[in-house]
Amino acid sequence: MGRFDGRIALVTGGGGGIGSAIARRLASEGAHVVVTDINAGAAQAVAAEIAAAGHASSAIAANIAKSNECHALVSQVLAAQGSVDVLVNNAGINRRGNIMAISEDDWDATFSVNIDAMFHLCRAVIPQMMERGGGAIVNTASQWGLHPAPNHIAYNVSKAAVASFTQNLARDYAPHKIRVNAVCPGEIHTPMLEAGVKRSGRTIADLDRLVPYGRIGKPEEVAALVAFLASEEAPFMCGSLVEITGAQAVA
């Protein structure tokens, strides 16, 4: 028996480094995972990998920066699977620059993906969670939403909004047994991070030296935390912002 046997999990940004690790972890523990990503090929590849491992998964391409696609996505999952028991709001983008350097388009895009999509997806998912007597929502925030890094104002502020959104949603829906929590990762070794490192001229080893634990994190470590928060092993965790940083945030 897996912790998510019989559950339907929807994972946004499921084609990326952290998202794909979350999807694989939830599927390995019994969930039927719906992998969604703006990149249809990436979502389908992750779903196929999960299926090849003998687990249940499907893929849906969606641009969650658009509110109508958020609602259409949830409607499609409900029609095909009957419920969304676990929603993992993982999709995110990072547009760099201080307030004078970042463009208005990048500011708007950051908030559309990083926080507005959560608003629309949760509005679509929560009514059926209430009808079913509960559910779990796990949001991906960031240590930078709690401890801002320089020259990333849009990303930092959007992730701070995710943290506040998580706590507000938890307070409002805990009476309905809908548990809402957030993970706040530090530097995690993903393709997105590698691309940023190359642009900066630094190396992964440079980042490792900034972390008291001695290295940056792995997507699978974030996935394990998400799975715990979404599971019945964390029944009293609601409104928590859980940092996973190798002590970098307190260094």
Q: Residue 84 has which token pair?
A: 């969304």
CA distance 145 to 158: 7
Q: Which of 8, 31, 57, 155 is catalytic?
A: 155
- Which residues share a beta bridge with 139? 89, 182
Which residue, 38, 168, 47, 45, is CA-closest to 93? 38
Tokens 């943290």 correspond to 163
Q: Is 213 a catalytic residue?
A: no
CA distance 49 to 23: 10
Q: Is residue 60 within 8 Å of 73, Cβ to Cβ?
A: yes
- C-alpha pair distances (Å), 239 with each of 113, 128, 183, 224: 21, 20, 11, 18
Please list the active-site residues: 155
